[in-house]
Structure 1
Amino acid sequence: MKSIRYISVSILSLAIVGGIFQACSSSENENKKKEEVVSVETALPSSSNESGIVASGQIESGQTAVISTRIMGGISRMYVKAGDRVVKGQLLVTISNADILAQRAQADAAIAEAKAAVAVSSKDVERFKQLYQQQSASAKELENITLQHQSISSKLESAIQMKNQVNAQLAYTRITAPFSGVITKKFADEGSMANPGMPLLALEQAGNFQAVVSVPESDIANIRQGAVVNLTVKSLGVTFSGTISEISPSSQFSGGQYGVKIAITDNMPSGIKAGMYVNVLIPGERVTQDKAARVSVPTTALVTKEQLTGVYVVSSDKRALLRWIRLGKQMGDRVEVLSGLAPDERFVLNAHGRIYNGCKVNESK
């Protein structure tokens, strides 16, 4: 009887184990059948042999001034703030000037005194001339009174120049705009003490911008003044044209980089502000060690994880594989790929669903 029980239990155990394996097998089959296929749009990288030099820099105002004063004194009134538009000659800041006004009053008094002395001296000279003609005064006496008159006249001129100096100092207490533009920064407030050379305001000319970029010495020989270039401001997503207006003749103090200024033409898009970063494509043959075509992809296709950047490529078995790449210069909405992607490899432009490394994809071009 015991043997029969053992056999029954064994048969029951085998049945249970077989059922489990069958359930697992069917579950795996169902998962395989349910594997999601992501529909993607793919494309080949763009290859270009067109010549050109890509440089980067910043947008700057065509004319900039840091406004300060040449005298020491408390700031009695600040008439503007950052963002205000001003016109040439508009009053911006006043410095306390009570002591300078007192000096001007002293200068006025000295001038009045000197004028009175000159008037008396002039009459003395005329009188001694008449006496000399009448032989009632010697030539020596006439000479002495004439020299005395010249000395008094010099004192009057000195007093006048002293007043001019005081007026010049007084003008420094009323600071006006040197040109029309926009106040970009305020460095001090009312009540602060102003010192000679201390910045008070920063002023930039409105609507007149230029781009300043750096070009290495390997490319500077291929750049010509007056050439039309394309500028791209990535933050705004806009591209516009400009003209090279100035090329620095030396890189001694700029680490081997030559400064190039680009005047922005009238087709400048709205929203451009000083300080924005800009990429510039300058026509000309780029000096490189090889003449291989440059490969580029849209920036929207890039995948970033921490410090790495890559794109999804499609494998031969129709799966998405994340490929890490090394990027070069960016121009507009495309970026140059220096390594990691061959010109004949298809990459994913858009995915209609959640895409991940190794997922099955349905490719559409």
Structure 2
Amino acid sequence: MKKIVIPIIALLVASCGGDKPEEVKKSNPIAVTVSAVTENNNEPFVTASGTIEAENSANLSTRMMGHVTKIHVKVGQKVMQGQLLVSVNNTDLQAKKAQVDASIMQAQAAFNNAKKDYDRFVNLFAQQSASQKELDDMTVRYEMAKANLDAAKQMRNEVVAQFAYVNLTAPFSGVVTNTFVKEGDMANPGMPLISVEGASGYQVTARVSENDIAQIQNGMAVTVLLKSKNTEIKGKVAEVSLSSKNTGGQYLVKINLDKTDAKILPGMYTTVKFPIEKTAKVTTDKILIPTEIIFTNGDLKGIYTVSQQNTAVLRWIRLGRTFGNQTEVLSGLNANEKYILSADGKLFNGAKVSVK
């Protein structure tokens, strides 16, 4: 039986092995369109990546320690200025307020009594029925009672002001973007409890390199490319940071966006184009390719190039910044090297191609 099976298997293997090269030889080359890499030597703009932020945003916290008794809003809910957002247990504060109120009543009674005595001694002194020493002593008593009453009232103002930190209200109209605690959690002084962002306007915070920051001025009109929407929005530079000490060597630039019909949300990624004055000459050696031809395999980015034998060669590349609909290639592709823009069939590494 072994002598029969082995030749049959061998025949099948030989038959399958012989068909594959024959198919490759007979397959027609894939028609492709190619483009040569060119160095970009004079761009009319400087670009920088950025994110959209609300013009008004705040993380609200309390100065009082206590349990969170109630969260009155949910994430994504619209709120009005002054609307109650979070309540923190204020039993200790209520007790302190009661003590202060009692102190005010005591100080008020002492002041009223001292004022009556003072007025009486003023009349007696005018009638020469009381000495100067008696009037001076009564005046001191009256002033002390008045000062004690004022101190008690100021203490009450301090307690009342602390109630603003146990009942957190919206500082402006907007949207609740996050809640950092749940009901029953312990709130500590300075710990963020809830965040609110205004819905009146948006701005972009971009990070600009030290090579480009000198060309950016306040009031400069810019174009902002919203990557997720593939939409361009106009805007103006509102702030230019003059230090990169705390921003990793890059300078922060804030841009106020014009009104647009596009639905934009805080956190969206953008590319900002800063125009350069015509008198400014910029020389760079950036290699740019169309973003649409780049494909992704996990963390790898690649394109297809054409070899001298007219075959498709898969080339892994390292990418830099995005400039509109083009992306910078940092490594993996040389100047004047051809790469495939489009193909009439499915490409794979080693496929025969014919250039249109």
TM-score by length of 1: 0.81
Instruction: Give the conservation status (yes or no) of the 8 Å contact 2:61–2:165.
Output: no
Matching residue's letter, 1:273 = L
Cα 1:177–1:29 shift into 2, 3 Å: closer
Q: Is the 8 A contact 1:232 1:331 kept in 2?
A: no
The 2-side partners of 1:29 and 1:278 are apart by 49
SS in 1 for 2:215: coil
2:166 is equivalent to residue 173 of structure 1: yes
Question: Is residue 50 of structure 2 the alignment partner of residue 50 of structure 1?
Answer: no
Say if 1:237 and 1:333, in contact at 8 Å, map to a contact too: no
* Corresponding position of 2:294: 302
The counterpart of 2:146, out of the listed 143, 150, 153, is 153
Residue 55 of structure 2 corresponds to residue 62 of structure 1:
yes
Moved more, 182-191 or 317-326: 317-326
> In structure 2, which of residues 205, 226, 234 is the aligned counterpart of residue 233 of structure 1?
226
> Partner residue of 2:197?
204
Residue of structure 2 equivalent to 1:100 = 93
Give structure 1 stretches of 5+ with no counterpart: 1-22
Q: Report the equivalent of 1:360.
A: 352
- Paired with 1:116 and 1:261, the residues of 2 have a C-alpha distance of 59
1:231 counterpart letter in structure 2: V
Please list every run of 5 or more consecutive structure 2 residues that lacks an aligned counterpart in the other structure. 1-14
208, 211, 214: which is aligned to 2:207?
214
Q: CA separation in 2, counterparts of 1:37 and 1:321?
A: 14
Matches within 5 A, 1:236-251: 236-251=229-244
Asked if the contact 2:81–2:171 (Cα under 8 Å) also holds between the matched residues in 1, the reply is yes
1:135 counterpart = 2:128: yes
SS in structure 2 at match of 1:241: strand
Secondary structure (helix, strand or coil) at the match of 1:81 reads coil
Distance in 2, matches of 1:28 and 1:258, equals 58
Q: Does 1:190 align with 2:183?
A: yes
1:73 equivalent in alignment to 2:66: yes
User: Is the 8 Å Cα contact of residues 71 and 173 (structure 1) preserved in structure 2?
Assistant: yes
Which amino acid in structure 2 is aligned with residue 247 of structure 1?
V
Is the contact between residue 279 and residue 330 of structure 1 (CA under 8 Å) also seen in structure 2? Answer: yes
C-alpha distance 57-32 of structure 1, shift in aligned 2 (>3 A): closer
Tell me which amino acid in the other structure corresponds to 1:50: E
Distance between the aligned counterparts of 2:349 and 2:78, measured in 1?
A: 54
Counterpart for residue 6 of structure 1: none
Residue in 2 aligned with 1:273? 265
Note the C-alpha offset of 1:71. 1.0
Give the aligned partner of residue 319 of structure 2.
327
Max Rg structure: 1
Q: Is the 8 A contact 2:62 2:187 kept in 1?
A: yes
Q: Offset of 1:356 from its aligned partner?
A: 1.6
Instruction: Give deviations 1:331-353, integer Å, cap 9, x for gaps.
Output: 23321335655665553223232
Q: Distance in 2 between matches of 1:227 and 1:204?
A: 26
Identity %: 43
Q: 1:337 aligns with which of 323, 326, 329?
A: 329
Match of 2:105 in 1: 112
Q: Give yes or no for contact 2:221–2:236 (8 Å, CA) kept in 1.
A: yes
SS where residue 217 of structure 1 aligns?
A: coil
Displacement of 1:328 in angstroms is 3.3
Displacement of 1:153 in angstroms is 1.7
Q: CA deviation at 1:358?
A: 2.8
Instruction: Provide the aligned length of Structure 1 versus Structure 2.
Output: 338
The aligned residue for residue 9 of structure 2 is: none
Instruction: Report the Cα offset of residue 264 of structure 1.
Output: 1.5
Alignment deviations for residues 244-265 of structure 1 (CA, whole Å, 9 cap, x no partner): 1111112233343221111222
Q: Is the 8 A contact 1:185 1:203 kept in 2?
A: yes
